[in-house]
Amino acid sequence: MKKLRVGHAGCGSVSIRGILPHITQPDAQEHLELVAVCDVDGERARAVADQFGAERSYNSFEELIQSDDIDMVIIATPIFLHAAQAEMALRAGKHVYVNKSMALTLDEADRVMQAVKDTGLKLVSAPGQMLAPSLSKIRELVQKGDFGHMYWGFANNTGGGHGVEMYQSGNTSIRRDPTWYYKKPSGGPIYDMGVYSLHSVTGILGPVRRVTAMSGIVRNERRFDDQVIDVEMDDNTWMVLDFGHNCFVTVGAGLCHHGVHMYWGQLALYGSDGGVEISKLDDATGWPSELRILRGGSEELIQTPISEHPLLRGEHLTLPEPHIYVDIMHLVDCIRHERTPVASLEHARHVVEVIEKSYIAAHTGVAQQITSTF
């Protein structure tokens, strides 16, 4: 079968650490071929093209998507660019994989949805949480009614901030100025991190009906080397999601501190007859690797190693961010076999509305109805 030809946009941290190393492995290259990369920093794009064996590099996204020999585009640029770039790529005739979050507002997501409808092309949106065997297992148990009527839960994604992440230490090519992660319109921990928990809980429990939130800035200033970054976006947010039938789940996202009991990617959901808690998390994917199942007064631990996913073999188990690789290969599979994406535009659009309305609720003090579904 003909290989899909890939154009990659954004040669920043995640691309160099976690996307390009995966898609240039021999098993991935049986299905796709990296043809071109782009970054507004043209020199960087050229260096990345050389490093990963792409034929061409561009310093503009518009040029990349005009290439006739590209079938699909991977978007790994700052979040505020995602929706417009996804729409442009679709209208230029390319299938799209867009990193999270897909958009900032429901209006933006609607424009992407219209472009998919108009072109009939495929779009897979990160994060593909429901592609994780462990999370789809939880959904299966919930849907079978093993835990009774689901009514309560919490999830969070809390980290120290982008300037202090491990890959930012040392003077490597991976290191990037994290300023946009603290600025309006797309900074803050929800569009970048809380979006994982939001996809997990909605993937398991279904669409949210109503949301309210508390949100604010804890640290007004961040540092990156000698540079002082004035923080504009809230770095501390708690949302309460109403799923209907008195089922409420809190989701938190913060850029301040994380701990042992409150750790990144935590998830616990309870029903009238039991519940499920993540008891171990895989660091590379952020997927649960052990579940504690509470049922009928007893407790059972289920191992859910990420290698349960058929694509995660060999080098993919040692490289960072293997979940992004799974998402991208999901797009390849959907294009090849005319399948409907599990990591769907509709799901991502719903989560985008939840995020947008959470901020409105936090800043007005009024709970917001959610209109979208998936």
Q: How far apart are CB 358 and ligand NAD at their closest, in Å?
A: 17
Question: Which residue of 5, 6, 7, 12 would you call a contact of ligand NAD, by CB under 6 A?
Answer: 12
Neighbours of 196 (CB within 10 A): 25
User: Do 370 and 209 form a contact (C-beta atoms < 8 A)?
Assistant: yes
What SS3 state is found at 269? strand
Site string for ligand NAD, 115-134 (x = CB under 6 A): --------------------
Tell me whether residue 125 or residue 266 sits nearer to ligand NAD (CB atom): 125
Tell me whether residue 77 or residue 304 sits nearer to ligand NAD (CB atom): 77
Question: Which residue of 71, 192, 234, 282 would you call a contact of ligand NAD, by CB under 6 A?
Answer: 192
Asked if 67 is part of the footprint of ligand NAD (rule: CB under 6 A), the reply reads: no
Question: Which residue of 5, 176, 199, 222 would you call a contact of ligand NAD, by CB under 6 A?
Answer: 176
Q: How far apart are CB 133 and ligand NAD at their closest, in Å?
A: 20
CA dihedral 316, 318, 323, 329 (to 10 degrees): -10
Distance CA 242, CA 212 (A): 9
User: How many chain residues touch ligand NAD (CB under 6 A)?
Assistant: 23
Neighbours of 318 (CB within 10 A): 9
Question: Which residues 6+ apart lie within 8 Å of 14 measured at CB?
Answer: 76, 99, 321, 324
List the interface residues with ligand NAD, window 80-99 (CB under 6 A).
81, 99
Distance CA 33, CA 24 (A): 8
Asked if 235 is part of the footprint of ligand NAD (rule: CB under 6 A), the reply reads: no
Question: Which residues 6+ apart lie within 8 Å of 373 measured at CB?
Answer: 207, 346, 350
Tell me whether residue 179 or residue 279 sits nearer to ligand NAD (CB atom): 179
Q: Which stretch binds ligand NAD (CB under 6 A): 73-81, 134-142, 209-217, 247-255?
A: 73-81
Tell me whether residue 175 or residue 295 sits nearer to ligand NAD (CB atom): 175
The residue type found at 348 is A
User: Do 253 and 197 form a contact (C-beta atoms < 8 A)?
Assistant: yes
Chain residues binding ligand NAD by CB under 6 A are: 9-15, 38-41, 44, 61, 76-79, 81, 99-100, 176, 192, 321
